[in-house]
Amino acid sequence: MPSVTDYCKTIEKNDENLFLTILMNIWCYGTLLLWTTFGILVFPFVFALCLLFLRWSADKLARWFIWLYGRGWLILMSPFVRFRREQMDQLEEGKPYLFVVNHLSFFDTYCMALLPVHDVSFAVRSWPFRMFWYSGFMRLARYLDVEGSSWDEILSNCRAAFSAGGTVLFFPEGHRSRDGQLQRFYSGGFKAAISTGVPLVPLCIDGTDRLLPPGRKLLRSCHIRLRVLEPIDTSAFAEEDGHLHLRKLVKGRMAEALKEMRNGKDVTEGGANDAGSAT
Amino acid sequence: MTEQEVIELIDSSLAEEFELDRADMVPEANIYEDLGLDSLDTVDMVIVLEGAFNFKIREEEAIRAIRTLADIHRFVLEKVAEHG
C-alpha cells in the first residue's frame, strides 16, 4: 500500500488540491458515520410505522430503506462527486430483472441507488454479512449469500424475489478489480437468469475506482457514471451450455461499453442525466 | 491423440473457458484454491471437457474426487483410453 507521502505526490501530480481532498474525507466519512448512525437509530420506529401503513412485506420494505440510505449517501457525496446516470429508460417499471454489474470499489453497492429501481436483492459473498452494523439489514432484506448458500437456495430466493416483482443484482467478477479491467466472470448470475426466465440487464459503473480503489482509505473527488445496457432475453440461452454463451456475450458488451465510457464517449440516445454536482 | 496432446487440449479448453493464466496451470494446482473455480464451475468444467473430447462424463462418481489439475488430466486420460 502506498504511503501518505506517495499518495500526496500522486495528488499533486494529478493537479488536485490537497486541501480539497482532506476536506472531502472529513466531510464524506463524517457525514457517512452520522447518516449510518441516524439510520440505525431511527430505522426500527420508522420501519414499524411503514409496515403498519404501507402493508409491504418486511423484506421489500427493508430493501426500500436500504435504497433510501443509498440515495442519502449520494446526496452527501454530491459536493465532491458528480454522479451521472445513463440509459435508465432501458428499464421498465415493475418488471423483474437480473442485473450484473462490474465491481471496482466498496462503494459500488451504494451507487446502485442511482438506479430507478428500489427493490433490489443483492447477491453478495459471505464477508459483508459479517459487518455487524449492516448484517441485520442485509438479512432482513433477504440478500443472497452466494458463498454460504446452496445453489438451490440461491435459485429459490431469486424466484421469490422475481415473483414479488423485485430484481436481483450479481457482481459476476466476485471481487473488486485491482486494475479497473473486467476480471473473470463467474456463471452464477447467468445461470440464475436463464433458470428463472427473467431478462438479464448488464450495468456498467465507472469512476468508483478513483473514488476509493481497493487497498486505499482516502477518498478522492471524481465523476461516477452508471450506464444501463440493453436487457437481454434469456430464453434464447436455454440449451445446456447457454449460460456460457450468455456470459461471454454480456462480458463483451460490458467491455465495449466501459471502453466507450472511459474514452469519454456519451450516449447518443436513451438519455443521460446528472444526479449530483462536483466542486 | 498422444498423452501430451490430451493434456494440452484439457488445459487450453479450461484456460479459455475460465480465463485462467496458463502459468498458474501446473499439475499440482488445486482447482478451487489455486485456480479459483467454484462449485458451479465444476459443472461447467464437465460441459467443457465433454465438448472438447466428445464423451459423456457427468454421471461419473470420480469427478467428485477431483481436486487438482493433475486429477483432471488423469481422469480424462483414462476416459480417452476407454473410448479408444
Indicate yes or no: CB of B36 within 8 angstroms of CB of A191.
no
CB-based contact, A244 to chain B, within 8 Å? yes
A195 contacts in chain B (CB < 8 Å): none
B38 contacts in chain A (CB < 8 Å): 186, 188
Within 8 A by CB and 6+ apart from B37, the residues are B18, B31, B45
Among residues A207, A250, A219, A189, the alpha carbon closest in space to that of A85 is found at: A207
Nearest CA in chain A to B19: A184
**pLDDT tens track for A82-104:** 999 999 999 998 899 999 999 99
> Residue A267: what pLDDT?
60
**pLDDT tens track for A5-49:** 444 444 445 546 788 889 999 999 999 999 999 999 999 999 999
**pLDDT tens track for B18-33:** 989 999 999 999 999 9
pLDDT at A185 over 80: yes
Task: State the fold for domain B3-82.
Answer: 1.10.1200
**pLDDT tens track for A96-146:** 999 999 999 989 999 999 999 999 999 998 888 888 888 889 999 999 998
The beta-carbon neighbor of B44 closest among A151, A184, A187 is A187
ipTM over 0.90: no
The beta-carbon neighbor of A187 closest among B20, B40, B51 is B40
User: What distance lies between CA A158 and its chain's CA centroid?
Assistant: 17
> Residue A128: what pLDDT?
83
pLDDT at A274 over 70: no
pLDDT at A3 over 90: no
Q: Which element (helix H / strand E) includes A92?
A: none
Task: Tell me which of B13, B16, B17, B37 to substitute to probe the interface with A (most A C-beta atoms closer than 10 Å).
Answer: B17
A182 vs A257: CA distance, rounded Å = 12
> Residue B58: what pLDDT?
84
| Torsion from C-alpha of A176, A177, A183, A189, nearest 10 degrees | 20
| pLDDT tier at B64, thresholds 50, 70, 90 | confident
| pLDDT tier at A158, thresholds 50, 70, 90 | very high
